[in-house]
Amino acid sequence: MEKPVQFYSENIPMAGVLFVPDDLSAGQTRPGIVMCHGFTAVKEVMLPEIARRLVGLGYVVLTFDYRFLGASGGEPRRQIIPLRQIEDIRNAVTFLQQQPEVDPERLGLFGVSLGGANVSYAAGVEERVKATISVCGIGDCGRWIRDACHFWEWRALLQRLEADRARRVLSGELEYVQANEIVPEPGSTTALFGQILDQYPQWSREISLSSGLPMIAYKPESVVADIAPRAMLWLHGDADERVSMEESQSMYAKAGEPKKIVILPGLGHSDILTGPGLEQSLPHIRAWYAQHL
């Protein structure tokens, strides 16, 4: 069963979808997993297929849009503020924990790309979460953005962001830019987005320029040491053209046990959770939750 749901995060209405196993008996509970989408994406991108696979294994799954994005509320629109997204995740956990189908003591997280960064951070501050999986996650967003730039591009970006801050202080108005003006990307990635955006009317790659400063300051790896003794798995493809596998490796190195990292050969950022890539990733996902959740 799949049904739209709404909850609130700091008084902002959050749009989600709850996936519940069809074989659930009256009064029976199952482990619950909150799934978190990437950078500018929405809950409809990539996550539903994985959610259905997990439901088939007996889990209750919640997907949702962060504040300012997709069908969730919040103004001004299309801001990416990671630490506020962490609050959205924690409130999603609270919502899931209260569902009658969910065992409130068996809660997990799953995230991809910036969502992988977010669940790594959330796992470090949210003790209710017992098992977390990050796919293609980012340990230090400032480093990630800097590494995607030439030196002069990085300097120009910092100057642009500071000029935008000064302008916003005086005007109170946001400037909107394409996401790749803040996080440079390969031409193949831009082309791929151009092919699939029409499938997701709620998805826009235009975001506020003001998103750049909180993104650059965001360092999930600074809290991953606090995840233990709860379980943390990082998955990454060694052909990821968008986020280097070194980001997951850096988080893994700083975390305590139980932890695991799996580097999947030949898989890139967009195919690690789709098609044949999903079939390679799924056994690791299934085994981690089965062991720790």
For residues 23 and 42, what is the distance between their CA atoms, to the nearest angstrom? 28
For residues 119 and 108, what is the distance between their CA atoms, to the nearest angstrom? 10
Look up the pTM and report it: 0.96
Q: Which domain holds residue 258?
A: 2-140+218-292
Exposure string (b/e) for 164-195, b if CB count within 10 Å is 16 or more?
A: beeeeeeeeebebbebbebbbbeeebeebbee
Helix (H, G, I), strand (E, B) or coil at 291: helix
pLDDT tens per residue, range 209-235: 999 999 999 999 999 999 999 999 999
Kindly provide the residue ranges of all beta strands, DSSP E only, lying in the chain, ordered along the sequence.
2-9, 12-19, 30-36, 60-64, 102-112, 129-135, 176-178, 206-208, 231-237, 259-264
pLDDT tens per residue, range 81-138: 999 999 999 999 999 999 999 999 999 999 999 999 999 999 999 999 999 999 999 9
The answer to whether position 207 is within a domain reads no
Helix (H, G, I), strand (E, B) or coil at 183: coil
The answer to whether position 203 is within a domain reads no
The answer to whether position 208 is within a domain reads no
Give the chain's domain count.
1
pLDDT tens per residue, range 146-190: 999 999 999 999 999 999 999 999 999 999 999 999 998 876 666
pLDDT tens per residue, range 246-281: 999 999 999 999 999 999 999 999 899 999 999 999
The answer to whether position 200 is within a domain reads no
CA distances from residue 234 to 1, 60, 134, 227, 281 in whole angstroms, order as listed: 29, 21, 5, 13, 11
Q: Is the peptide bond before 220 cis (omega within 30 degrees of 0)?
A: no
Query: Exposed, middle or buried by CB within 10 Å (0-12, 13-18, 19+), for 110?
Result: buried
Mean pLDDT of 4-16: 99
For residues 15 and 118, what is the distance between their CA atoms, to the nearest angstrom? 18
For residues 148 and 215, what is the distance between their CA atoms, to the nearest angstrom? 14
Biggest CA-to-CA distance, the chain: 61
State the CATH number of the domain containing residue 262. 3.40.50.1820
Strands 176-178, 206-208: pairing is: antiparallel
**Confidence class for position 199, pLDDT limits 50, 70, 90:** confident
